[in-house]
Amino acid sequence: MKILMVCLGNICRSPLAHGILEREIQMQNLDWEVDSAGTSGWHEGELPDQRSIEVAKENGLDITNQRSRAFTKKDFKDFDLIVVMDSSNFSNVKSLADNEAEEAKIKLLLNYSYPGENRAVPDPYYHGGFPKVYSMIEDAVLNLIKHHV
Ligand code: 4NP
């Protein structure tokens, strides 16, 4: 299984989802791969936001190997699941899909914790709340693994 975590900037939320899933893949010995991307290319090549680096570090996770990149149409070919953080990521990604099979790969992360509720991981870039965002993402990633393993 190849999973792509997607948010707007690929510097705050999706790098946390990427790092948390990467750790679980290793710890649970899963034959999975994970990467992350942003629907905007605004932070192309940048490290994750310092606040995401910090909250990850507080949870024993190093995400400083990651660099931001933009989501592209090719990602629909390369990944089995495209996991987005909010409804705006969902519509931005969906607008690049070529067919229903590609659209069906797009999932809202928090639906793994709250099925059918279409909840968003709030964007912490302007208003903070990184510890809360970390725990929401961690819960949902663990539920995603249970769902697909
Ligand atoms: P992310 O957060 O989508 O979780 O990476 C954001 C990062 C950057 C911006 C917005 C949200 N920005 O406006 O540059």
SS3 string, the chain, reads CEEEEEECCCCCHHHHHHHHHHHHHHHCCCCCEEEEEECCCCCCCCCCCHHHHHHHHHCCCCCCCCCCCECCCHHHHHCCEEEECCHHHHHHHHCCCCCHHHHCCEEEHHHHCCCCCCCCCCCHHHHCCHHHHHHHHHHHHHHHHHHHC
Domain count, the chain: 1
Percent of the chain with pLDDT strictly greater than 70? 100
Q: Which parts of the chain register pLDDT below 70?
A: none
Structural domain boundaries enclosing 83: 2-148
pLDDT tens digits along 7-26: 999 999 999 999 999 999 99
Helices 50-58 and 130-148 pack at an angle, to 10 degrees, of: 70
This prediction has a pTM of 0.98
Output phi, psi for 135, to 5 deg: -70, -35
Question: 129 C-alpha vs ligand 1 centroid, how far in Å?
Answer: 13
22 closest CA partner among 39, 36, 8, 43: 36
**Residue to substitute in 46, 69, 123 for testing ligand 1 pocket (most ligand atoms within 8 angstroms of CB):** 123
State how far the Cα of 125 lies from the Cα of 131, in Å rounded to an integer. 13
Q: Which atom of ligand 1 is nearest to the CA of 10?
A: 5
What pLDDT digit, counting tens, does each position of 82-96 carry?
Answer: 999 999 999 999 999
What's the pLDDT score for residue 112?
98
Q: For position 118, which CATH number holds?
A: 3.40.50.2300
Distance from C-alpha of 80 to C-alpha of 123, rounded to nearest angstrom: 25
Rounded CA separation 82/106 (Å): 5
Binding site membership of 138 for ligand 1 (Cβ less than 6 Å): no
Q: In this predicted structure, what is the pLDDT of residue 108?
A: 98
- Give pLDDT, residue 9: 98
Judge whether 139 counts as a catalytic residue: no
Residue with tokens 């993402």: 137
What b/e string do you get for 32-47 counting C-beta neighbours within 10 Å, with b at 16 or more?
Answer: bebbbbbbbeebeeeb
Task: Establish whether 12 is a catalytic residue.
Answer: no
Q: What pLDDT was estimated at residue 19?
A: 98
Q: Tell me what pLDDT residue 16 has.
A: 99
